[in-house]
DNA sequence: GGCCAGGACTATG
DNA sequence: CATAGTCATGGC
């Protein structure tokens, strides 16, 4: 019988605030939230362990929902995924210290204390989500992601709960552009998705390789890929590769969040944003993630 | 009904 | 290097 796994969490952690973030779209199908309970499955070899993530003071709990026992390997992978998903290995105290002195961040951070930069541990998923989200509103982006996942991914059910597994690169690499454009994405995005899938499926791109150097070399590599510009590269550096200094500075959502917090008439210029972000050095990703929550 | 959205590519000066 | 046009659909 599978046991409950207990993962210690840092002091700067509030499960309910993170759950609120995860609840932001009804079109999310890669995990489910039912009656305040979080359900998830991940690919693990040929298996797809299904589990609930819950919380008690000082810990996250992983509750396996499979009848067959998890191997030690499966247990390790699920725990590693959950740690990464909730960004538990980052010490946020320096961020909170600087944010408390920052007029733009102070109120947001105190209101969302304990929010982590919820990650997208899978590189292909992170890249696809970035590409899909380019230049469209977030609600539509979720619609497109759902269509993409439910067209090419795999559904896993346990009892009355289901989750979808994100499509594997090999599932996408062989598609025709029209197969994806039929979901009402632009032809270019369909090309980009297939291109990225091929790179990963062929072993020319992977998370481990990107993490070999520093953030600059990873950014350079990502931007060299067709369809990945500075915004998408930094989005992936932030949500997948976990660099707290990644900064999607071109992000329209960030611009609108700054505009709202400072009650500006118009969106801030690039120069103004750079000024405002001087004090965030090293924590730009967290500043951005918190500011996003002002709007979404 | 019009503006804009968690951009990137391409062509042009 | 900087700017403008293009993609294309949907949310609000």
| Strand C contact residues in chain A (92-151), C-beta within 7 Å | 135-137, 139-140, 143
Over chain A (296 residues), the average pLDDT of each successive run of 10 is 92 98 97 97 96 98 96 97 97 98 97 98 98 98 98 97 98 98 98 98 98 97 98 98 98 97 94 96 98 92
At the top level of CATH, the class of A5-87 is alpha beta
* Nucleic strand C within 7 A of Cβ A296: no
Domain boundaries of chain A, sorted by first residue: 5-87, 90-113+238-296, 123-205
Taking alpha carbons only, the member of A63, A83, A106 closest to residue A13 is A83
User: What local confidence, expressed as pLDDT, does residue A296 receive?
Assistant: 80
Active site residue A162: no
User: What local confidence, expressed as pLDDT, does residue A273 receive?
Assistant: 96
Closest CA to the C1' of C9: that residue is: A184
User: What local confidence, expressed as pLDDT, does residue A1 receive?
Assistant: 65
| CATH of region A90-113+238-296, choose from 1.10.260, 1.10.1670, 1.10.3280, 3.40.720 | 1.10.1670
* Nucleic strand C within 7 A of Cβ A269: no
Task: State the DSSP string of chain A.
Answer: -PPPEEEE--SS--HHHHHHHHTS-TT--SEEEETTEEEEE--BTTB--EEEEEEETTEEEEEE--SSPPPHHHHHHHHHHHHHHTTTTS--HHHHHHHHT-TTTHHHHHHTTT-------SHHHHHHHHHHTTTS-HHHHHHHHHHHHHHHSEEEEETTEEEEEPPPHHHHHT--HHHHHTTT--HHHHHHHHHHHHHHHTTS--HHHHTTS-HHHHHHHHHTSTT--HHHHHHHHHHTS--TT---TT-HHHHHHHHHHTT-SSPPPHHHHHHHTGGGTT-HHHHHHHHHHHH-
Taking alpha carbons only, the member of A97, A1, A18, A106 closest to residue A55 is A18
Task: Write out which nucleotides of chain B lie closer than 7 A to a protein Cβ.
Answer: 4-10
Side-chain-facing half-sphere of A94: CA atoms under 13 Å: 11
- Protein-to-nucleotide distance from the CA of A35 to the C1' of C12, whole angstroms: 29
* Nucleic strand C within 7 A of Cβ A187: yes
| CATH of region A123-205, choose from 1.10.540.10, 3.30.450.40, 1.10.340.30, 1.10.10.10 | 1.10.340.30
User: What local confidence, expressed as pLDDT, does residue A201 receive?
Assistant: 98
* Nucleic strand C within 7 A of Cβ A178: no
* Nucleic strand C within 7 A of Cβ A186: yes
Left, alpha or beta for A25 (phi > 0: left; psi -120 to 50: alpha)? beta
User: What local confidence, expressed as pLDDT, does residue A111 receive?
Assistant: 97
């Amino acid at each position: 019988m599978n046991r409950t796994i207990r993962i210690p969490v840092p002091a700067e952690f509030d499960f309910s605030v993170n759950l609120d973030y995860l609840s932001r779209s009804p079109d999310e199908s890669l995990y489910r939230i039912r009656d305040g309970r979080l359900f998830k499955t991940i690919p693990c070899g040929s298996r797809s362990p299904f589990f609930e993530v819950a919380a008690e003071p000082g810990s996250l709990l992983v509750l396996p929902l499979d009848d067959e026992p998890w191997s030690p390997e499966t247990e390790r992978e699920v725990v590693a995924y959950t740690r990464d998903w909730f960004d538990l290995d980052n010490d946020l105290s320096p961020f909170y210290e600087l944010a408390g002195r920052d007029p733009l961040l102070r109120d947001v951070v105190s209101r969302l204390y304990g929010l982590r930069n919820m990650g997208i541990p899978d590189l292909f998923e992170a890249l696809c989500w970035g590409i899909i989200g380019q230049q469209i509103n977030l609600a539509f982006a979720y619609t497109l992601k759902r269509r993409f996942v439910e067209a090419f991914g795999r559904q896993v059910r346990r009892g009355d709960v289901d989750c979808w597994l994100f499509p594997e690169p090999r599932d996408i690499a062989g598609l025709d552009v029209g197969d994806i454009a039929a979901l009402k994405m632009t032809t270019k995005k369909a090309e980009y998705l297939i291109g990225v899938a091929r790179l990963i499926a062929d072993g020319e791109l992977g998370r481990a390789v990107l993490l070999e150097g520093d953030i600059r070399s990873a950014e350079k590599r990502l931007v060299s890929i067709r369809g990945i510009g500075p915004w998408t590269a930094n989005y992936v550096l932030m949500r997948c590769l976990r660099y707290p200094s990644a900064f999607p500075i071109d992000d329209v959502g960030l611009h609108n969040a700054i505009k709202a917090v400072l009650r500006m008439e118009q969106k801030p210029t690039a120069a103004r944003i750079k000024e405002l972000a001087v004090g965030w050095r090293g924590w730009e990703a967290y500043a951005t993630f918190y500011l996003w929550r002002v709007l979404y």
